[in-house]
Structure 1
C-alpha cells in the first residue's frame, strides 16, 4: 500500500526534526569540548604578570586576611582601583577549592581555584546569551552563537583569566538582555522578571568595574531608542522595584569602602573614570603604569579580539539590509560597538576593554548568517565546528610544551618551583619592581629589592634567592651569588662558617 501525502509529509517532518536534534547534540558536544579545554588550560597555565598575577594575589590576600570589604594591593595597603566583585569571586574560590585541589595535587592548585569562579561568570554569560538567542530564533542558532563567542580569541583567553573584565561583561550582557526581554521586544509582552534582571545586570557591573558599566549599557540603549524614536518603551521597565534592587545591592559596599578607607570615592570615580582616559601619561595611578595608546586603537583591538570570526563580518551589511527584524540587528550592532565608541578618545586602554561587546558581535554574526536561509548560510555552522576544535588544541599545545625559557608569557612560577626544590628555606627577592606572580606563588613571601641594596644581603646569615626577570637588562650581581643553572634564578652563596 502506497504512502499517502499526509504520511509522506509526516515522515519528512520527523526526519527534519531528527536531523535538527542530531545537529543540536553535535553543537552541544563542541561547546562542551571548548569549555573543557579552557578548564584544562586554567589548571596547567601559571598566573601571568602583571595583570592576572596582581589580581590573583589580591584575592589570595583577601582569603588570607579575611578582609572582604577592601581589596589590598599589599598587606595593609587598600586597592582603590576597582570594586571588589572579581576579588570576592577569586577569594571565595581559593577558600572553597584551594584545599581540595592541593590535596589532590592538581597542577597550579591555587591558580585554578582563583580562576574557577571567573570561568563560572563566563558560563553564566553564555547561558544568558543562549536563552536570549533561543527565544529570538532557535536552540541551534543559540548554540552556534555560544560556540562562536567561546572560540573567539579574546573571550577564550579571558573566560578563565583573573581580572575584572569577565564579571563586567556578564553584568553588561545581563542588563542588555534584561532590557530587550523586559520591555517585550521579542513578543511585545513585557517580562517583569527580565526587567528586574536589567537592574541586576547594572548592579553586577557597578560592583565589577564601577560606573563604566552604566555607560556601556547607556550608550547603545540611548542611541537605539533615539534612532527608532522608541522612548515609550522605557515605561515598561519596573523602575521603582529595580531602583530599590540596584541601591540595596550596590550602595552598601560603596559606603562601607569609603568609611573604612576615606578618599576611595574621589580616587575611584574621578581618577579611574575620568583622568585615566583623558590625561595622557596620567600620574595619579597608584597601582601601576598607564597603558598609553594612540586614540582610536580600541577599534584595532576589537578586530583582533574577534578573530577568527572577523573573516565573516564583511558580509553582514547587505545581509542586515535584507533582514526583516532590523530592530534586532541595530540593537546588536550598537551593543557590539558601545565599548569601541566609549574608548575611542581614551589615552589609556587595554585590549580586554572590548570584551563586553563581544557577545553581541557573536549573536549578530550568527543571526545574520542563518537568517539568509540559503545553502551558504550553513557555512558558519561548519566553521564553528572547525574553529572550536583547532583553537583549543593549538592553545593546549602551546601551554603543555612550555619551559622556563620558552614560555610565552611573563611569570615566575617555574622559578619558584625550582627554588622550592633546591633552596626551600631561602628568602625570595625580585630584582627591581614588585613581581606579583612571585608574591602569589610564595604566599606573599617574595619581596622586591633594588640593585643598590644587593650587597647588604652579603652581611646576612640567611641564604637568599634572587629572581632576575630579564638577565640581559638586569644589574650586574656582586660577588657571592651562585647561578643555580636557571636563567632567572641566583642564590646567595653562604660559607658554611657563616651559616646558622
Structure 2
C-alpha cells in the first residue's frame, strides 16, 4: 500500500502535519530492527572500553577533561596546567570530567555521557517522528540514523560535535513541532531555546547558525512568518540566556581575552583564513573549498548508497516535495544540508562538521523512500538490516584488533607504549622526543615530559632517575649516540620505539 502523501487529504497544514504515514512494519521486522540496534549498542560499549584514545582530537579533549577533574577548575578548561583552553566551550569537557568522576579516570568514564547524549538524541528523534509520522517510520528512521557511519563512530567519542548535535536536534525538532502543529504542547517551543543554549555551551555561536540556516530557508520559501509567533520568544530567550550566558561571563572574568579569541579567532578567522596562524592549540585544517560535500556523502554511508534508487524515481521524489503542504520534507532537506551550505566556503573543516545534518538526512531518506516506494519490498527488507549489521561488524572488527593486536593497525595512540613503560617500573619517568602526545599525557596522568634538544636528552643519563624515552622510528638514527649510551630498545609500539634505562644501581 502506498504511503499517504502529506497534505493530500486537503486538510489545513496544521492538521495535516499530524496525519501519520501508512508505512508499516511487520512485527518480525520491528523485532529484527530492535535486536540489531541492541547488538550495535553492545558493540559501541565494547569500543568504549577497548579502543584507545588516539591523537590528537579525542585524546586532547579527554586529557583536558582529566585536568579539569584533577585541578577542580570547572570554569576554564586547561590546555596545559595553568594554560586556559579557549578553543571551545566546556560542555563536552564537563561531560567527560563528570563521567570520570563517577566511573574513574579511563575510557568508559570519559566517553559515558557522550553515549548517553547519543541515546538521548536518538530517543528524541524517535518521539518526534512518531508524533508526526507514526511509530514504524520513526523506528526505521532511528535505525538508519544510529547506523550511519559517522554517527555510529562518534556516538561515544570524546569530541565537541556530538554534544552540539544534541543541541541542534533539540532546537530543530522543537521548532517544527511548535510552529507547524497547533496541538503541540508548549514545551516543544521551550525545547527549541534549550537546544540553542546547549549548542552555545557545546560549540558556540556556530550552533545557532546551523539552526538558523534551515529555519530561515523553510520560513522564507514557505512564507511561514506568522507561524513564528507561536514560539515563546520572550520567556524562551530568557531561558536560553539563563542557561548559557553565565558561563561565558565567568570565563571572560576568569581569563580575560577569551571572548575576543573565541568569537573572532575561532568563528571568523578559522572560517575564512586558509592556514590561519592564530590557532593557539594546534593547526588549522585547510581543505579545498567544497570538500564538506565529499565528507557529507562519506559520513552517511552506507545509506547514501540508497540515493541512486531514489534518483530513478526523480519525478515521484519531486512530487513528494511538491504535494507536501506541511513542509515536512523541505524542512528536513534544509536541515540536512545546513552544515554543507555553511562550510562550503570554509577554509578549515573536519569530517565531523557534517554531523548536525545526519539526523535530518536519516529521517528524510526514510520518509521520502516510503512516500515513493510505499511498503518496503524484498530488496529493501534485505539490505536495510544487512547495512546495519555491516557497520556493526566493521566497528567490532577494528575494535577487536585494536585491543588484542594493538600494533597491527598502527593507531595513533600511546596506550601500549605507556603500559609497557609502567610495566618495566611503576615509578619510571616517561619522556617523549618530538611532538606532543595527548594520549601519552592521558595514560600517564599528566606525568609525561618532553625532550626537545640533545643537551636535555644527554641529561637523562645523569639525573639519578630511571627514564623511559619514546622516539619516532625515523628519529632513531639522529639520536643513535645518545640512545646507545644509556638506553635499551624494548621495541616498537605503534608509531614510536620505547627506550628505557637499566635499573638504577
TM-score under structure 2 length normalisation: 0.89
**Relative to structure 1, is the Cα distance of residues 378 and 205 closer, same or farther in structure 2, using a 3 angstrom cutoff?**
farther
- Aligned partner of 1:162 in structure 2 is 158
Superimposed CA distance per residue, residues 301-359 of structure 1 (whole angstroms, 9 cap, x where no aligned partner): 00110111111123164443232426111100110010011111111110000000000
Query: How far off is 1:394 after superposition?
Result: 2.2
- Is the aligned partner of 1:63 residue 2:69? yes
- Is the aligned partner of 1:205 residue 2:199? yes
Given that 2:473 and 2:497 are in contact with CA atoms closer than 8 Å, whether structure 1 keeps it comes out as no
Query: How far off is 1:25 after superposition?
Result: 2.5
Query: How far off is 1:466 after superposition?
Result: 1.1
- Is the aligned partner of 1:309 residue 2:303? yes
- Is the aligned partner of 1:489 residue 2:486? no
CA distance in 1: counterparts of 2:203 and 2:139, whole angstroms: 29
CA distance in 2: counterparts of 1:150 and 1:426, whole angstroms: 43
Given that 1:168 and 1:204 are in contact with CA atoms closer than 8 Å, whether structure 2 keeps it comes out as yes
TM-score under structure 1 length normalisation: 0.90
- Aligned partner of 1:359 in structure 2 is 359
- Is the aligned partner of 1:268 residue 2:262? yes
- Is the aligned partner of 1:147 residue 2:143? yes
* Pairwise CA RMSD: 2.0
- Aligned partner of 2:447 in structure 1 is 445
Given that 1:56 and 1:162 are in contact with CA atoms closer than 8 Å, whether structure 2 keeps it comes out as yes
Q: Greater relative contact order (Cα 8 A, min sep 6): structure 1 or 2?
A: 2
Given that 2:317 and 2:372 are in contact with CA atoms closer than 8 Å, whether structure 1 keeps it comes out as no
Given that 1:69 and 1:256 are in contact with CA atoms closer than 8 Å, whether structure 2 keeps it comes out as yes
- Is the aligned partner of 1:42 residue 2:48? yes
- Aligned partner of 1:5 in structure 2 is none
CA distance in 1: counterparts of 2:125 and 2:338, whole angstroms: 17
Superimposed CA distance per residue, residues 27-79 of structure 1 (whole angstroms, 9 cap, x where no aligned partner): 22221111121111111101111000000001111111111101111111110
- Is the aligned partner of 1:125 residue 2:127? no
- Aligned partner of 1:465 in structure 2 is 468
Q: How does 1:329-348 map to 2 (within 5 A)?
A: 329-348=329-348
Query: How far off is 1:451 after superposition?
Result: 4.1
CA distance in 2: counterparts of 1:18 and 1:341, whole angstroms: 34
**Relative to structure 1, is the Cα distance of residues 243 and 377 closer, same or farther in structure 2, using a 3 angstrom cutoff?**
farther
**Relative to structure 1, is the Cα distance of residues 486 and 223 closer, same or farther in structure 2, using a 3 angstrom cutoff?**
same
- Aligned partner of 1:26 in structure 2 is 32
- Aligned partner of 1:454 in structure 2 is 457
Superimposed CA distance per residue, residues 453-479 of structure 1 (whole angstroms, 9 cap, x where no aligned partner): 3112122111111122x3125542423
Q: How does 1:177-326 map to 2 (within 5 A)?
A: 177-183=173-179, 185=180, 187-314=181-308, 315=310, 317-323=314-320, 324-325=323-324
Given that 1:366 and 1:380 are in contact with CA atoms closer than 8 Å, whether structure 2 keeps it comes out as no
After TM superposition, the structure 1 stretch with the greater mean CA deviation from structure 2, 426-435 or 384-393, is 384-393
Note the residue ranges of structure 2 that are not aligned, 5 or more in a row.
1-21
